[in-house]
A = this chain, B = another copy of it.
Amino acid sequence: MAVARRTARDIRSDSRLDVLHAVLSAAEITRNELVQATGLSPATVATVVGELITAGILVETKMSVGLVGRPTATLGMNGAGGRVVGIDVAETYVRAVLFDTALNQLGFVEVERDEHFLTPELMVEAIGEALDMVLEQERVARDDVRGVGVSLPGLVHGSAGVSVLVPHWAWRTVDLDHLRERVALPLVIDNPLKAIATAELWLGRGRFCPNLVTVNLGTGVGAAIVLDGQIARGSTNSAGEWGHSLLALDGRECRCGRRGCVEAYVGAPGILRTLSEIAPDHPLVAMELQRDVIGAMARAIESPEPDDAVRETIARTAYYLGSALADLVAVVNPQAVTLTGWTAWALGAHMLPAVREHVAAQSPGQSADALELELSTVKGNSVATGVATIALERFLADAGLITTRIPIAL
């Protein structure tokens, strides 16, 4: 378990990644702007850009002619380099999203979760079907697909190799060879927190902010931690399981078996529980699907006369979330915290001001004074986007353009 040794090849890789990230985040950028954005020398930028154009990753999108000097080329990602697919296997759905190699989203399919998914065999089949469906729907030939990324919850690396462990799901291991055969395309697998971290690092605040936490709020909750520009994976790929850290010792029972976990308060079922504690007879309590209730709660709070129970539920959730985020600030001390996930999209904007106040009040010393706490700028399903980005990263690594350590992706 020695620390991976850095080589001169890694340094070249870092330069290429810096250029790629800068191009992706700017959409269009000149070589001079790349020198500014990356801190690399003009000579290095020229070399790296040349290599990436030759490899078909970057393209010169247009030339602008100034009053003096040579015309200046604007660079962009080459979207015509093929397609990548990101598949988010979540608890209530499987979503397959198609991207071009510039990471522009082209289309998606979503299959609702069904209790039949709860066997490993049917889960593999559901992933395969979602992939087939999105390729057919968008009329993409399999030969044009450079890579498929699949995000599986609870993917960890243990003494028995890689396994998928979702304590509250019926299945505990997925036959990854079976999944590889079914997909039959270059495949990477990782867990949702690593996918979100990658999305934030390539496309969100990560490029400007080397110390960053992205919090995913949905049925489950978790934190993707980026430290010094690197994704913190931990020793078994399960770093960031903040959802199962304590908010309240001996508190609410969590479905993981522990009591008092953050998730039992700020996961969607936890929010519904708070509502039912405040107003057991509230009509929303009787609704069947989590996502419908959270959506209805967002509409209620946006209405001209929001009801008191919903208002109080959101205020308490903001207190729980702010308290739990202050713990992340205490332990990780990030420069920015971004929120993503479907609960964040529905309720985040309503909670942010109060959450910021609670975080500021509860974080140690000055550690939160300069903290940026915002919704993520990576919109939509950042798990699918992130795992597609990992697939693209792997494609670039296989092409010899970057070195990358993906301990789990297979």
Contact = CB atoms under 8 A, between A and B. Distances in A.
Interface of A: 1-8, 10-11, 14, 39, 154, 156, 158-159, 165, 167, 208-211, 223, 225, 227-230, 232-251, 256, 258, 260, 320, 323-324, 326-328, 330-335, 362-367, 369-370
A237 B370 CA distance: 13
A130 B4 CA distance: 41
A332 B333 contact: no
A241 B364 contact: yes
21 contacts: A8-B8, A156-B365, A156-B366, A158-B369, A165-B365, A167-B365, A211-B234, A223-B331, A228-B230, A235-B333, A237-B333, A238-B367, A239-B332, A241-B330, A245-B326, A246-B246, A248-B248, A249-B251, A249-B320, A258-B362, A327-B327
List the number of copies, as a whole number.
2
A258 B358 CA distance: 11
A266 to B, nearest CB: 12
A16 B233 CA distance: 27
Nearest to A240: B331
A370 B235 contact: yes
Contacts of A335: 1, 235
A235 B334 CA distance: 5
A156 B367 CA distance: 8
Contact of A331 (B241, B326, B333): B241
The A interface is mostly helix, strand or loop, or mixed, namely: loop
Contacts of A247: 246, 249
Nearest to A207: B2
Contact of A8 (B11, B39, B241, B323): B11
B165 A1 contact: no
Given A2-B39, A6-B6, 14 more contacts: A3-B229, A7-B11, A156-B366, A211-B235, A223-B331, A227-B232, A236-B333, A236-B370, A238-B366, A241-B365, A242-B331, A245-B330, A246-B326, A248-B249
A249 B323 contact: yes
A331 B234 CA distance: 9
B238 A364 contact: yes
B333 A239 contact: yes
Given A331-B328, A333-B236, A367 B248 contact: no
Nearest to A237: B333
A242 to B, nearest CB: 5
A332 B7 contact: no
Contacts of A370: 158-159, 235-236
The 9 A-B residue pairs whose C-beta atoms are closest, nearest first, are: A234-B333, A3-B229, A235-B335, A245-B327, A239-B333, A244-B364, A248-B249, A241-B330, A241-B364
A223 B327 CA distance: 13
Nearest to A366: B158
Nearest to A320: B249
A256 B365 CA distance: 8
B236 A366 contact: yes
Contacts of A324: 246
A316 to B, nearest CB: 11
A332 B234 contact: yes
Given A8-B11, A14-B6, A245 B369 contact: no
A239 B323 contact: no
